[in-house]
Amino acid sequence: MAKNIIIIPTYNEKSNISLLLEKIFNLMPETYVMIVDDNSPDGTAETVEKLKEKYPNLLLLKRPFKNGLGEAYMAGFKESMKNFNTITMMDADLSHDPKYLPKMLELSENFDLVIGSRYIPNGGVTKKWGIWRRFLSANGNLYLRLFFFRYPIHDWTTGYNVIKTNVLEKINFHLLSPKGYAFISSLKYYLAKNKIKIKESPIFFEERNGGESKMSYFIILEGLIMPWKIIIKNLFY
């Protein structure tokens, strides 16, 4: 069984994907990377297909239409869980610097979930964010920490995570919020609920390199509703 695979969902990330893969494979040439593309009209999948000739450990999973971040990750999980010891979740827009990968993977040898955290000492976010985006991110995490106070997680919404597949296999994917970044928070909740070993490692979150942000009012609303949905589901599961 191979050690680690990095799963990267994409939608219109042609302007970023080549540079990101170059950074990853220059740093860790033996790792595997799976791009899960939601039929990007900008030709992201075609770019990745060509790069497979350069990077033998590069995999491409093409989906027929855009159906949310969570659905993309779950498709990647299902393809990967039986063949890899750990799965790394990572954004495609270069906001997650690959330089943190070696440290996070080293920590994953002793922890089930390693979180690339912006909200612990030595972590942070780009100064290019406006006041509204900073307020939204910091207070969104505070909101979730109040709901899930029994679990020692400071950054519930970061998408930079390393998960051992043996704990991921125990998660009922049907319970997770399928859209947007609520998926990431709900996944962490159900992982933490299983009393796994969790470690946060500081990262600095950069502004996206190119393309357009996927943040929307719908994603924000879903994030606000998500913990209430979990409370209701807990009454029945």
Number of domains within the chain: 1
The structure's pTM equals 0.88
Please give the pLDDT value at position 145.
86
Per-residue model confidence (pLDDT) at position 1: 55
The parent domain of residue 77 ranges over 2-234
CA distance 65 to 214: 16
> pLDDT tens-digit profile of 33-52?
999 999 999 999 999 999 99
Taking 50 as the pLDDT cut, the residues of the chain under it are none
* pLDDT tens column, 179-223: 667 899 999 999 999 999 999 999 999 866 555 555 555 566 666
Q: How many whole angstroms separate alpha carbon 37 and alpha carbon 59?
A: 11
Beta-bridge partner residues of 66: none
Helical H segments across 32-100, by residue range: 44-51, 69-80
The greatest distance separating any two alpha carbons of the chain, rounded to the nearest whole angstrom, comes to 50
Mean residue pLDDT across the chain: 88
Residue with tokens 């990095």: 6
What pLDDT, on a 0 to 100 scale, did the predictor assign at position 146?
87
Find the CATH number of the domain harbouring 198. Answer: 3.90.550.10
Q: Alpha-carbon Rg of the chain, whole angstroms?
A: 17
Q: How far is CA 158 from CA 114, 197, 200, in A?
A: 11, 18, 11
pLDDT for position 121: 95
